[in-house]
Structure 1
Amino acid sequence: MQYTEAIDYLYSRLPVFHRIGAKALKPGLGNTLLLCEALGNPQHQFTSIHVAGTNGKGSSSHMLAAIYQSAGYRVGLYTSPHLKSFTERIRLNGQPIPETEVAHFVVRHQALIERIEPSFFEVTVAMAFDFFAREAVDVAIIEVGLGGRLDSTNVITPVASVITNIGYDHTDILGDTLPQIASEKAGIIKPGVPVLIGETNPETEPVFRTMADFVNAPIEFADRHYSVQDNGILNERRNVLVRRDSELAQPFDLDLLGSYQLKNLPAVLATVSALQSLFSVSLAAMQTGLTSVTLLTGLKGRFQTLQYRPRVIADTAHNQPGLEALLETIRSIDYARLRIIIGLVADKDRSHILAVLPQNAVYYFCQAQTPRSLPAAELQLEAAGLGRIGEAFTDVNAALSSALLDAAADDLLLITGSNYTIAELTTL
């Protein structure tokens, strides 16, 4: 079986969330545990850091991976979804899992997959854990797929649990209040394992403290100990000064330019600090890693500039808090006119997302080539009802081409709204 055949098999045989949404979920950890047991329980054969949160968990995972790589460690990284290739989900020192490894895994375990009938995500988690164990990584950064408590990744016992923030997303699955969502995310907190919370919220803090106390896990709210001073963007790096409590402030240059990364930074640095006795990391390694996240890990789609004059930026923000943070960054850029190319999925509450979009932008509504995508014409109609006016396109690249034809050299073009929309850009 070749790689393309293996991927076709996984997509055709297993329910896939990014295609059909919540119907692809299989509640509970039973299938993942059965897969891992058949594989020799690889999840217990490497050291891991678990990262959850509504927004920022992907960027935070990549930042942690870049820091530990810069410190000389052998680092595994598991994230989802991918943008261009399935192999992006499973990385070793920034390099995607070889296609031959994917094919061999499917061939070796096809009978097991058909016996257990797991979801697509459950299989990819088991594949990642098997790969990290066989490659003897020093540490693996494991990003939660959805929620935490019942997420397939939650079969690990990490050395640190990281929760970036809590916001409204996947409310049909996780609950429609912040405490309910926080309770699901708090499911990754393990007995005695340090937990680092990125952003303090009075509604969710009691949830995290109660869970941490219940399992005797040390808890730190990173934003209460780390303050970040933004000095702006210079030479395509965001310069910041970070002070921990009363310590001397330290400079960092971030290649991830979004201002929302400043909210991710405290939990990342707090995690590295909490694990110094296990993984020694120098200040220089932290600075090098944060300057080179995209180069070291292959991260794409986070406030990524695709071209200049006109400037085109792609960002995978796909929910209300994510878009609010993205638009905050946009306000720090000089431009004549803002043109937004946007596509959304159909199974989310879009009213809150559309409400945060600026009324004075020019819109180009599009859709991804996936069953979950909201048809562009429907998005156009819903947006018009809120005063966001624009044309509809059935493809993101057609929308971008039209926007480029309309744009002046000093306009700003923003492509956003969905991972799946960004993934289909031919210029990414």
Structure 2
Amino acid sequence: MSGPLSFASAAAWLDGLQLFKIKLGLDTTRELLADLGSPERGLPVLHIAGTNGKGSVGATLAAILTAAGYRTGFYSSPHLSCVRERFRLDGQCITEARFASLAGRLRAVLGERQPTYFEATTLMALLWFAEERVDAAILETGMGGRLDATNVVTPLVCLLTDISRDHEQHLGTGIAAIAAEKAGIIKPGVPVICSGREPQAVPVIAARCRECASPLFLHGRDFSGQLEGDGRFAYRPLNGPTRAGLPLALPGAHQAVNTALALAALELLADCYPQAAAAVPAGLARVRWPGRMESFTVEVDGRSRSFLLDGAHNQAGVEALVHSLTRGYQRERLVLVWGNMADKNLLPGLLALLPLSDRIIFTRAEPVRSASPEALLVQLPPEHQCRAECAATVAEALARAAAASSPDDLICVAGSLYLVGRARQLLLGEDCQ
């Protein structure tokens, strides 16, 4: 390839870097950053790691800082349907032209080196944020922390969301091992905001903070968030009186904790972002995080249907989905469209969803890593198999769900972010226009 890249050719080049390849380590990222002029140096970074909730916390931080008038970059992963979703500036996706330009500049310095897909997008994000002179660069780790490609920065604050068992083939077996990898983003002297909801993770994180002389602030001990009902929540800050009646745009009880993490981080950074506190109500009201407990009504084959999309892709995420469905989302019947990656054992979560589901449709978003619908069907207890069926494609699954439901029913799509992304694209179109 030679000459300027189009967006299509840039996206195809990235896909050629093996979207699903995982390579833990920082050497390639550091070498390429140096060749790009070290754009990460001096970036005002808010760094987020954890198993669940990273995106919600990042989206909340971005919404508040943008509402306060700060130029705010947000780098997240994975994307649902378009790679441009990973790169946002003041809430807007990167343009196709800028994306292609950044990809071309990265490609020009590679030589014989071949970064992974995630390393490449991380490099592009850091370069873009530096060139845009952002006031805040919110970086979400991809999987772990210690060896994650984003861990080349010295942030203003580190945030650790809920930690649970996931990616154990890469991060180690058990909560303590996973927590140690996530805590690897902690840098000397940099304050740490932590959800602290997993008892086995807290001692590991606390030990890392002591090693780095980094102050640790725990949800429930030093600050907290609590649902008040009617889409409101109360925040007990690190200092001062509780702020009650705050809007909470993201649904789910777990979002009270995620929102509190974001508010505590901004409280610590009040000297850097003095306008943020006043912008909290407006920012919270604007938070969007598509594909995570996202509900809407749309027509499918001429039928008006209600949907709930949730990228619950690990056991903790499915448990949160079950909690929400048990306590809300009024419906006559629930039709579940489900698919998960072949390397995920989500059977316990799926079994917990069965009593809530009147019909189950198994499908797959892509053929390489997704479990086959037939393989999922045979895992069901025999007494539930009569309520389940398989669809070869996501489009077919959505059509079957619409035909098998009424306007008073709820169609829930869950089990994989790839599945949710494809379903959302079919139902609503691209999120980045």
TM-score, scaled to structure 2 = 0.91
Matches within 5 A, 1:209-288: 209-233=206-230, 238-244=231-237, 247-288=241-282
Q: In 2, are the aligned partners of 1:46 and 1:139 still within 8 Å (CA)?
A: yes
- Hey, what does 2:307 align to over in structure 1? 312
C-alpha contact (below 8 Å) 1:260/1:326 kept by paired residues: no
Using the size of structure 1 for normalisation, the TM-score is 0.92
1:10 pairs with 2:14? yes
Higher mean displacement: 110-119 or 239-248: 239-248
Give, in whole Å, the separation in 1 of the partners of 2:170 and 2:242.
Answer: 43
Q: How many angstroms apart in 2 are the aligned matches of 1:42 and 1:223? A: 37
Q: Residue 387 of structure 1: CA displacement?
A: 4.0
Q: Which runs of 5+ in 2 are unaligned?
A: 299-303, 429-433
- Structure 1 pair 134–370 and aligned structure 2 pair: CA distance change class (3 A): farther
Note if contact 1:199-1:222 (Cα within 8 Å) is conserved in structure 2.
yes
Shift of 1:269: 1.2
SS of 1:154's partner is: coil
The CA deviation string for residues 153-203 of structure 1, in whole angstroms up to 9 with x for no partner, is 000110000001111111111122110110010000000000000133321
Identify unmatched segments of 5+ residues in structure 1.
Answer: 18-23
Shift of 1:417: 0.8
Q: Rate the CA distance shift 1:384–1:111 in 2: closer, same or farther, 3 A.
A: farther
1:233-382 alignment to 2 at 5 Å? 233=230, 238-244=231-237, 247-294=241-288, 299-307=289-297, 310-331=305-326, 332-361=328-357, 362-382=359-379
- The 8 Å contact of residues 355 and 386 in structure 1, kept in 2 or not, is answered as no
Greater shift in the superposed pair: 382-391 or 302-311: 382-391
Q: How far is the alpha carbon of 1:204 from its aligned partner?
A: 1.2
Between 30-39 and 281-290, the greater mean CA deviation after superposition: 281-290
* 8 A contact 1:48–1:157 mirrored in 2: yes
Bigger CA drift: 166-175 or 186-195? 166-175
Kindly indicate whether the alpha-carbon contact (under 8 Å) linking 1:80 and 1:143 is maintained by their aligned counterparts in 2: yes
Taking the aligned partners of 2:356 and 2:279, their CA distance within structure 1 comes to 43
Native 8 Å contact 2:226 2:257 kept in 1 = no
> How many residues matched?
413
* Alignment-derived partner of residue 403 in structure 1: 401
Cα-to-partner distance string for 1:232-251 (whole Å, 9 max, x where unaligned): 34xxxx22222337723422
CA distance in 1, matches of 2:32, 2:18: 16
C-alpha separation in 1, matches of 2:337 and 2:99: 34
Bigger mean CA offset, 124-133 vs 405-414:
405-414
Of the three residues 130, 139, 142, the one matched with 1:142 is: 139
Work out the CA distance in 2 between the residues paired with 1:248 and 1:360: 37
The 1:379/1:289 distance shift into structure 2, 3 A limit, reads same
Q: Provide Cα deviations, 1:277-299, integer angstroms capped at 9, x if missing partner.
A: 111135441111111012xxxx3
Say if 2:55 is the partner of 1:58: yes
CA distance in 1, matches of 2:329, 2:356: 16
- Contact kept, 8 Å, 1:337 with 1:410, in 2: the verdict is yes
Please report how far the alpha carbon of residue 259 of structure 1 lies from its aligned counterpart in structure 2 after TM superposition. 2.4
Structure 1 position 212, deviation (Å) = 0.3
Once the two structures are TM-superposed, the CA of residue 385 in structure 1 deviates from its matched residue by: 5.7
DSSP-derived class of the 1:161 partner? strand
Distance 1:32 1:338, change over 3 A: same
Please report how far the alpha carbon of residue 111 of structure 1 lies from its aligned counterpart in structure 2 after TM superposition.
Answer: 3.9
Q: 1:393 to 1:46 in 2, by over 3 A?
A: same
Deviation per residue, 1:327-377 (Å, 9 max, x gap): 211122222211111110011223333233233412111101241111111
Q: CA deviation at 1:114?
A: 4.5
Once residues 85 and 365 of structure 1 are traced to their aligned partners in structure 2, the CA distance between those partners, rounded to angstroms, is 24
Encode CA deviations 1:23-72: one digit per residue, 9 max, x unaligned: x1222100100110111111113200000111000111010000111111
d(CA) in 1 for partners of 2:421 and 2:110? Answer: 27
Checking the alignment, whether the CA contact within 8 Å between 1:305 and 1:313 is kept in structure 2 is yes
Structure 1 residue 222: deviation in Å?
2.1
Percent of pairs with identical residues: 36
The residue aligned with 2:123 is 126
- CA separation in 2, counterparts of 1:221 and 1:227? 8
CA shift in 2, pair 1:192/1:363, >3 Å: same
Three-state SS of the structure 2 residue aligned to 1:305 is strand
One-letter identity of the residue aligned with 2:296:
L
Question: In 1, Cα distance between the equivalents of 2:309 and 2:369?
Answer: 20
Residue equivalent to 1:393: 391
Q: Alignment partner of 1:82: what SS? A: coil
Q: 1:405 to 1:114 in 2, by over 3 A?
A: farther
How far is the alpha carbon of 1:11 from its aligned partner? 0.9
CA RMSD of aligned residues (A): 1.8
Moved more, 276-285 or 207-216: 276-285
Amino acid at match of 2:411: L
